Structure 1
Amino acid sequence: MLQVAVIRQQPEWVKERLAIRNFKETDLVDQIIELDEKRRKLQAEFDATQSKINSASKEIGILMGKGDKAGAEQKKLEVPALKASLQPITEQLQEAEKAQHDLLVKLPNLPSGEVPPGTSAEDNVVVRSGGPEPQLGADALPHWDLIVKYDLIDFETGSKITGRGFPLYKGRGARLQRAMVQYFLDFNTNAGYTEYQPPLLVNEASAYGTGQLPDKEGQMYFVTEDNFYLIPTSEVPLTNIYRDDILKETELPVKITAYTPCFRREAGSFGKDVRGLNRLHQFDKVEVVQIVHPEKSYEVLDEMVRHVEHLLQSLELPYRILKLCGGDMGFTSALTYDFEVFSAAQQRWLEVSSVSNFETYQTNRAKIRFKDEHGKIHLAHSLNGSSLALPRIIACLLENNQKEDGIHLPVSLHNYFGAKVIS
């Protein structure tokens, strides 16, 4: 959530940054400022009235001390009227604060100055690419056919158990999933991240803290009786570990990682975009999250991008890194880099990771702060990235590494999987 102080101090600059996102409701900025003026006046009126009550109470004590009981009783008659006048002021103040908050949560994060202009994915900027270019024969199969050929995943039974988008991994398919999760976690913990195993359901405050509410409630599965949400990503519970906390500056950066299943109701398109592992409602993902000093967050963002890049390089997959334009960024992000791997059999790029800096957008909502050496309290910055999402990685590993004698896995997975080839 944007800070009101920033909006008040630089309203035209805020509108300019929102325009980079192609955000049309910039009049919300003026409405928020108007409501803040009203809130400030009501707060001043409340404080003045409360001050009169405090002064009267103090004076009553002085009069009683002097033995002037009559004067004290006379002064006491003023207090009920002053207290009664606080009630409507309090109600108006609460209404103004709620109205302002309801408008604030409609504003997305302000894009960093590095964000390129643009309206859609076509305007994203390729930063760099790498990895070996696969050479497949004319009879190469897409991953959904390879899955059947090597009996790795049962989509039909998964659909029977739950519904479409809930695959049933089995045998070597389940073992490959487990091998990749373990490898990704080891890769992250070796880089200094602490592993957590968080809850898979979160409450409303947690979903609000990271910006899933009120923006993405339609994408999350909701447990109505308990008012819990199934997590769309472990970013949500991991970031909320520090909700309402004040860290010491010396505790920064906080580096955490976790493996979780992820649940998303998001509607998909049709055909090859959702076939096989391309888009699922339940999928496995390993996440990295950092809580950092504001002055270091963009340095940390670059570090996290390199970390994910090295992980992809170790999987020997062709990849490219995109800097997202204003029109294609997530609601809460200030700057996002997407990672895509090339699916040789499908002849298309598939997104496998997003690494984002949220600056203070999440930490302002979740009240994640730190105290500096002088005792002053500041909002921290939060960042997160997929390291990595498994389904499309598996799809590309199968497609890009298919040979006549089976699927040749990258060296990094040999010990984890217990074999070099799926045959």
Structure 2
Amino acid sequence: MHDIRAIRENPAAFDAALARRGDAPMSSDLLSLDEGRRAKILAAETAQAEQNKASKEVGAAKARGDDTEFERLRALVSAKKAEIAEMNEAAKALDAQLTDTLARIPNLPADDVPDGKDEADNVEVTRWGTPRSFDFTAREHYDLPSVTPSMDFETAAKISGSRFVLLSGAVARIHRALAQFMLDTHVDANDLTEVNTPVLVNSDAMYGTDKLPKFGEDSYQTTDGKWLVPTSEVPLTYIAAGHVIDESYLPRRYTAHTLCFRSEAGSAGRDTSGMLRQHQFEKVEMVSVTLPQDSDAEQKRMLRCAEDLLERLEIPYRTVILCTGDMGFGARRTYDIEAWLPGQNAYREISSVSTTGDFQARRMNARFKPADGGKPQFVHTLNGSGLAVGRCLIAVLENGQQADGSVALPQVLAPYLGGKTTLAADGTLI
């Protein structure tokens, strides 16, 4: 959510920042709504003062026996009461319109975010590992002989429709091991607090974390009005909603492993093969709530937490900073980590780490109390994938594939797999 006062103070800067995202100027329309709202509020306050004055004079006129003045003042009080109600109702309607309009405007990009139209304009900032050279044609994950029997799209489609998958046997266990490895690393090495969150949330939580109103079609809503989480960013971030937190209590760093649900309404025809883009998937999420002056450093810290997981798994990756045209709605700055997938001969996104500044905090009224006793200020919130479990499974399977169809698994997963280090060609762990 944007601060209308900041727009009043510098409308040209607001429009210039929107233009970097490819959006048309909006300050004029916003300020027109704001001026209309403030005018109605002022009119109501003026009428209230006039009503109060007339109310005091009614008694005096009655005491003097001035029936004409008494009736005039009583009629004035009644008229002012109706006028106040009308002005307040008009101000309320304009305020709701202004709030709804502001809620649909994306966050403004940080100054260091590169300008661009789409993913082709993203800028690589680092690269780790060297993609392996194969002496055979690398296959995609779902074509590996050791994987195919345990990755069943046909039965899942019979049960739930397209873009679902049934994992079984050793592949299901590797998938579970990856999530456990991620959580343990975040808790033990990265000092994040593990949280077991609901996957059903209310509309306030979705709105507060900028998923509503604009992107309701991308999520699933139940018949009683609740929403299946698109990511545990929603419940983790909304923990701070409505609170005034002591400065000494920050930063708060959370992690959670949950099912996630997305309708993928805007991705028709994209990544229809395999389990790269599913309606239901699992993710280990990271969320931080920080002081404003610490949020940029916190984003770099979260980015390293995600990158470190891939390094421990020995998966080559590259990190890019997203351009203005490719950033998500609520992001002020986003880094994507893209894992190397030999089967596609391409880097594909496996994590996004974003700072929203105070964009979400304003929507959910999350503030902190400065240690010096100053006025409460809005916190900054950040979120990042650490990591997408299904996509990480794809990367592990494709990077570890062998000529005979087996898969050499990362050593860090062995403790979670009973010491096993290989997915054999027959689909068993050895």
> Normalising to structure 1: TM-score of the pair?
0.92
The superposition leaves residues 360-412 of structure 1 with CA deviations (integer Å, 9 ceiling, x where unpaired) of 11111111111113141111111000000012211111111112462111111
Alignment of 1:332-343 (within 5 A): 332-343=330-341
Q: Which amino acid aligns with 1:378?
A: Q
Q: Structure 2: how far apart are the matches of 1:149 and 1:68?
A: 95
Q: Structure 2: how far apart are the matches of 1:145 and 1:328?
A: 31
Whether the 8 Å CA contact 2:109–2:332 is kept in 1: the answer is yes
Cα distance change, pair 296–56 in 1 and its aligned pair in 2 (3 A): farther
After TM superposition, the structure 1 stretch with the greater mean CA deviation from structure 2, 110-119 or 82-91, is 82-91
Report the counterpart of residue 39 of structure 2 in structure 1. Answer: 41
Q: Secondary structure at the match of 1:110?
A: coil
1:252 to 250, 253, 260: 250
Report the counterpart of residue 211 of structure 2 in structure 1. Answer: 212
Q: Structure 1: how far apart are the matches of 2:191 and 2:301?
A: 12
Q: Which amino acid aligns with 1:381?
A: H
Q: Structure 1: how far apart are the matches of 2:104 and 2:198?
A: 28
Whether the 8 Å CA contact 2:141–2:398 is kept in 1: the answer is yes
Report the counterpart of residue 2 of structure 2 in structure 1. Answer: 2
After TM superposition, the structure 1 stretch with the greater mean CA deviation from structure 2, 214-223 or 111-120, is 214-223
Q: Secondary structure at the match of 2:91?
A: helix
Whether the 8 Å CA contact 2:44–2:83 is kept in 1: the answer is no
Report the counterpart of residue 412 of structure 1 in structure 2. Answer: 412
CA positional deviation for 1:49:
2.8
Q: Secondary structure at the match of 2:106?
A: coil
The superposition leaves residues 278-315 of structure 1 with CA deviations (integer Å, 9 ceiling, x where unpaired) of 21111100000011111111111111111111111111
Q: Structure 2: how far apart are the matches of 1:253 and 1:379?
A: 13
Alignment of 1:186-265 (within 5 A): 186-190=184-188, 191-223=190-222, 225-265=223-263
CA positional deviation for 1:50:
2.9
Runs of 4+ residues deviating >4 angstroms: 52-61, 67-71, 73-78, 147-150
Unaligned runs of 5+ in 1: none
CA positional deviation for 1:5:
1.0
Cα distance change, pair 101–13 in 1 and its aligned pair in 2 (3 A): same
1:118 correspondence with 2:89: no
The superposition leaves residues 119-170 of structure 1 with CA deviations (integer Å, 9 ceiling, x where unpaired) of 0111000000002422222243221112664633211111111111111111
Unaligned runs of 5+ in 2: 425-430
* Aligned residue pair count: 416
Q: Which amino acid aligns with 1:195?
A: E
Q: Structure 2: how far apart are the matches of 1:248 and 1:408?
A: 49
> Normalising to structure 2: TM-score of the pair?
0.91
1:288 correspondence with 2:289: no
Cα distance change, pair 55–124 in 1 and its aligned pair in 2 (3 A): same
Report the counterpart of residue 376 of structure 2 in structure 1. Answer: 377
Cα distance change, pair 258–77 in 1 and its aligned pair in 2 (3 A): same
Report the counterpart of residue 422 of structure 1 in structure 2. Answer: 423
Alignment of 1:262-411 (within 5 A): 262-267=260-265, 268-270=267-269, 273-373=271-371, 374-404=373-403, 406-411=406-411
Identity among equivalent pairs (%): 38
Q: Secondary structure at the match of 1:187?
A: helix
Whether the 8 Å CA contact 1:147–1:153 is kept in 2: the answer is no
Q: Structure 2: how far apart are the matches of 1:136 and 1:341?
A: 17
Alignment of 1:48-197 (within 5 A): 48-54=46-52, 74=70, 79-146=77-144, 149=147, 151-190=149-188, 191-197=190-196
